Amino acid sequence: MMRKDMTLTVNGSRHALAVEPHLSLLDLLREKLDLTGTKKGCNAGDCGACTVLLNGAPVNSCLILAVQADGQDITTIEGVAGEGELHPLQEAFIDHGAVQCGYCTPGVVLSAIALLRDTPQPTRSQIQEALSGNLCRCTGYFQIIDAIDAVARRQSEDSSRNLEKIP
Amino acid sequence: MSDLSIIGKGVHRVDARGKVTGHTRYASDMRLPGMHYGKIVFSSHPRARLLEIDCRAAESMPGVKKVITARDLPGSNRYGYGVAHRPVLVAVGEETRYVGDAVAMIVAESEELASLAASAVVVRYEVLAPLTSPREAMQAGAYRVHQEAEGNRCCQREFACGDVDAGFRNVDVVVEQTYVTPRQEQAFLETEAGVAYEDDAGVLHVMSCLQDPYGVAEDIHLALAIPKSLIHVKGTPVGGGFGGKLNTTIQVHLAAMACLAKVPVMLELDREESFDFHAKRHPVEIRLRLGAGRDGTIHALDGEVIADVGPYSGRSAEVVGLAMSALLGPYRIANVRTRADGIYTNNLDSGAFRGFGAPQAAIARECLLDKLARTLEMDPLQLRQKNFLRPGDRPASPMLGESPVSIELLTQRVLALLGPKPAAPENSTKRIGRSICFDMPVFDVGEIPVLGKAGVGAAVQVHSDGGVTVYAGGTELGQGIATVVAQVAAEQFGLPMEQIRVEMSDSWICPRAGRTSASRLTFGLGNAVLEATARLRETLLAQAAKLLEVAAEHLTFEDSRICLVGQPQKGLAFAEVAEVCSDRGGNLREEGWFRGTGDRYMYGHTFMAAAADVEVDIATGEMQILKLVNVLDMGKMLNPVMAYGQLYGGAIQAMGYGLMENMVTVDGRSKTPSFAQYMIPTAMDLPLQFVAEAVETPYPTGPFGAKGIGEAALNCTTPTLFNAIADALGVEVTEMPVGQEQILAAIHKQDVQ
């Protein structure tokens, strides 16, 4: 089968690969790069378990061909914090009991990261909307929303504190 | 026990870090050297006779390692819980019983090649008419899904007390209704998956997402004639189960692939295969009749449950049995006659799903109670209160009866949390409805009839450096049992959580603990770990007493030390005592067993209340849940953050069950094979307000007073929503699930103003 040469940057590392033209970005991440934190829940764009950030925007990686990501920048759950560190959202998920089986968690965390970057102080209904593409069958979403809300509030407190410091 | 330091605290889950960082390896994330990929060829028809299977094209494809049909299998080719009558592969000459039956298997170098080869297997069928109606299946002369099952009866349960005919003769009012409940899909996000390989010593290792490693090992032995001592089943972190992974799923197929192809094999079902394959919540038809006096006292209950079991027995006998006994709920009714039949069909398979039959029963019972209240022109809460079990009462249905009756307390809490009923805006098409419902959820506390063996075991090892490993045979599905087990051990030894490691779900290294279902593990494993740690505490205390030259009864475990009660400075580090014990050959590994009562009463019980305020627009049929309230008697919350997580998650599953979920089949085939058609609640579908509260009435034999609460929230939330909608409209919506379309149809049909 014809393979196509491509490059992409994943979690800050540049990869040069030759891939089958029909390979999905999800399968590339999981099978070629062993980044198995990105989950396959339906392979049809319905569940959001495979959410990654493509140039910062959340996408279902099962719906994108790997070759479409040629030259682009990808962030997966493995890349949201430094080795041995946790992103504030990951910490909040642990604190608030937002994790049960954990299968939706990577995708949900990435959707939440994108939300807080674009909308640092979301309302609860904006949080709900941002999560609407990520199915979770365990939690009923409440503790997930609480966790995201808590991080947003803390960030807004921190930024107002920073403002106060400006002479 | 007010001085608990870890029990009752919302400590972090032991598995949370791996899950939020993506480092946790679920079954499909495992990679083995030389790993091949499996694919199952499923039957193209719900019912058909297999005339011929031609594998030549598939076998000749490059990269295909092995094509397997029934005649290649060693052993009986039969497995399954309940009755071991499920074929691994349907053989030529045999009939398929549903679309999840397998007819061939491929092992190939890649997933893609395996799929291509699977589609190249040519199967010739004689297509036969599927049997899809349980009522038709019960008729004399109906085709039998299993030859030996007369009337296609899989199971039957009956319960009676008092004199039901006399009871109905002496009442003022009789109400009766038949309820038909939808087929609910567990919709776990992780489909069935696993890897398997045979090692050099001939041991078969199967690593897979499951809920019962011991049952899986038994099934592999039954089907493939592999000696039990050569089968090692290891449960991987589970991406949701909810009962759907309680039966053996793909593990026997996976084992056969690895053994016959002689290579490590990965098998993962895709979403459509998964939806077709595993057993779901039984669709049931419940006919229920209640007889009451004018004062609201219920004197008689007569109920009949007919459940669509699908093709194989699985857990149906237990599920159907609970659907029957749960018809009584938390009420005292003197004269009862109930009966339940589980009937085989060629529809999708039915089995365990959170609640285990009780959610279906709660719908019928609580909706009919509201109908009785309307008939009597009585407040539905007052009607229920009139008939509540009273303190000291034992439930009439077979229960252990140890739970203090806390239902009046729940009523007070639910009313306080609900507050005043909101008013609809004036001159609008919006109507407001309210409902309060009750349930008596159960959890497994007794003898567990898993393949004839009972008991829940756990082993605890104290290492010479003071670290602790708990070997607990149950399975972490996301419910948090690994954390609970660690909390119990940490509490017992006065150690921080970081000192405890938990190994779970391994048929080789964990003492037998049976299945992870029926909300049984906090109770069973909690007690087993308490027993094992109690013995270790004695050993460590005796050693510390010698070293400190004091009597052991003056010593306690606190802050990683074994010290004099109230004088933490006078003592030794836990690790120091462990090291001395270890050096002197002391036994620092103990097993604990919770064996239950040994009688036929398998369940303990608790109490639950749910309430809802809803707003329905009679112009459009749109419905909004303004407020949902759940109050559950948890006995004692071992970890409140996780306990509330069970309440929240269960309530939203119940909401999905009531308002949107139905795995529709036509002629035995699913019409909702993806998440685009089978819709489950998203974050956008939540009630405007949800208040959950725990009441804690300690359960006498529970660890620290805890009860099993994993399933409870599901049971009465669904009928609460139905009754609130009926209250808003003034008429019942009888077609389930109750979506906008069904509400609008009821409004038009019954001319709601």
3-class secondary structure per residue, B636-666: CCCCHHHHHHHHHHHHHHHHHHHHCCCCCEE
User: Is residue B272 a contact partner of residue B674, using CB atoms and an 8 Å limit?
Assistant: yes
Burial status of residue B372 (CB atoms within 10 A of its CB: 0-12, 13-18, 19 or more): buried
Q: Do the domain assignments include residue A27?
A: yes
If you average pLDDT over residues B224-228, what whole number do you get?
Answer: 97
Q: Which of A44, A79, A114 is the last residue of a domain?
A: A79
Does the structure show a pLDDT above 50 at B391? yes
What is the longest distance spanned by two Cα atoms in chain B? 85
How far apart CA B93 and CA B747 sit, in angstroms, is 52
Q: For residue B607, what are the CA distances in angstroms to A138, B91, B232, B406?
A: 22, 49, 39, 7
Question: b vs e for B506-524, b when ≥16 Cβ sit within 10 Å of the residue's Cβ?
Answer: bbeebbebbbbbbbbbbbb
A74 and A101 inside one domain: no
Choose among B12, B189, B686: nearest Cβ to A128.
B686
Q: Do the domain assignments include residue A36?
A: yes
A73 and A93 inside one domain: no
Q: Do the domain assignments include residue A13?
A: yes
User: Is residue B325 a contact partner of residue B414, using CB atoms and an 8 Å limit?
Assistant: no
pLDDT, tens digit, 9 for 90 and up, residues B56-90: 999 999 999 999 999 999 999 999 998 999 999 99
Q: Do the domain assignments include residue A59?
A: yes
Please report the pLDDT score of residue B603 as a whole number: 84
Q: In chain B, which residue's Cα lies nearest the Cα of A141?
A: B683
pLDDT grade for B402, boundaries at 50, 70 and 90: confident
Tell whether B682 is within 8 A of chain A (Cβ): yes
Which of A103, A115, A135 is most worth mutating to test chain B (most B CB atoms within 10 A of its CB)? A103
Question: What is the enclosing helix (H) or strand (E) of B713?
Answer: helix B712-729
A121 and A58 inside one domain: no
Q: Which of A79, A98, A124 is the last residue of a domain?
A: A79
User: Is residue B95 a contact partner of residue B48, using CB atoms and an 8 Å limit?
Assistant: yes
A105 and A128 inside one domain: yes
How far apart CA B599 and CA B707 sit, in angstroms, is 19
Does the structure show a pLDDT above 90 at B693? yes
Q: Which residues of B fall within a CB distance of 8 Å from A140? A: 648-653, 681, 686, 690
Tell whether B542 is within 8 A of chain A (Cβ): no
Choose among B22, B241, B270: nearest Cβ to A77.
B22
Full set of structural domains in chain B with CATH: 16-23+455-594 (3.30.365.10), 31-130+187-277 (3.90.1170.50), 280-445+601-749 (3.30.365.10)
pLDDT, tens digit, 9 for 90 and up, residues B702-745: 999 999 999 998 999 999 999 999 999 999 998 999 999 999 99
Q: In chain B, which residue's Cα lies nearest the Cα of A134?
A: B682
How far apart CA B294 and CA B296 sit, in angstroms, is 5
**At which residue do the structure tokens 């397997």 appear?**
B68
Does the structure show a pLDDT above 90 at B369? yes
Please report the pLDDT score of residue B2 as a whole number: 52
CATH number at residue A137: 1.10.150.120
pLDDT, tens digit, 9 for 90 and up, residues A79-111: 999 999 999 999 999 999 999 999 999 999 999
pLDDT grade for A156, boundaries at 50, 70 and 90: confident
Q: In chain B, which residue's Cα lies nearest the Cα of A42?
A: B271
Pairing of strands B173-180, B284-292: antiparallel
Q: Which of B318, B305, B306, B308 is nearest to B346 (CA)?
A: B308
Choose among B23, B188, B684: nearest Cβ to A132.
B684
Q: Do the domain assignments include residue A113?
A: yes
pTM attached to this predicted model: 0.97
A51 and A93 inside one domain: no
Q: Which of B325, B317, B349 is nearest to B245 (CA)?
A: B349
Q: Do the domain assignments include residue A167?
A: no
Q: Do the domain assignments include residue A93?
A: yes
Count how many Cα atoms sit within 13 Å of the Cα of residue B223 in the half-sphere of its side chain.
34
Q: Do the domain assignments include residue A138?
A: yes
Please report the pLDDT score of residue B450 as a whole number: 45
Choose among B648, B649, B683: nearest Cβ to A131.
B683
A101 and A67 inside one domain: no
A92 and A158 inside one domain: yes
Closest approach of chain B CAs to the CA of A165, in angstroms?
A: 33
Does the structure show a pLDDT above 60 at A166? no
How far apart CA A125 and CA A108 sit, in angstroms, is 16
Enumerate the β-bridge partners of residue B287. Answer: B178, B304
Count of domains observed in chain A = 2
Q: Which of A79, A106, A133 is the last residue of a domain?
A: A79
A64 and A94 inside one domain: no
Choose among A42, A78, A138: nearest Cβ to B22.
A78
Please report the pLDDT score of residue B128 as a whole number: 98
Per the prediction, chain B carries an average pLDDT of: 95
Tell whether B498 is within 8 A of chain A (Cβ): no
Please report the pLDDT score of residue A20 as a whole number: 95
Question: How many C-beta atoms surround the C-beta of residue B154 within 10 A?
Answer: 27
A74 and A9 inside one domain: yes
Whether a cis peptide bond, with omega within 30° of 0, leads into B134 is: no
Choose among A99, A105, A135: nearest Cβ to B675.
A135
Closest approach of chain A CAs to the CA of B525, in angstroms?
A: 19
Q: Which residues of A fall within a CB distance of 8 Å from B186? A: 137
Please report the pLDDT score of residue B597 as a whole number: 63
Q: Which residues of A fall within a CB distance of 8 Å from B649? A: 100, 137-140
A71 and A109 inside one domain: no
Give the B window 99-118 contacts with A, CB below 8 Å: none
Closest approach of chain A CAs to the CA of B646, in angstroms?
A: 7
Does the structure show a pLDDT above 80 at B533? yes
A126 and A98 inside one domain: yes
- pLDDT > 70: what percent of chain A? 95
A119 and A152 inside one domain: yes
Q: State the residue range of the domain holding A44.
A: 4-79
pLDDT, tens digit, 9 for 90 and up, residues B169-210: 999 999 999 999 999 999 999 999 999 999 999 999 999 999
Tell me which DSSP letter residue A31 carries.
Answer: I
Which of A137, A145, A149, A151 is most worth mutating to test chain B (most B CB atoms within 10 A of its CB)? A137
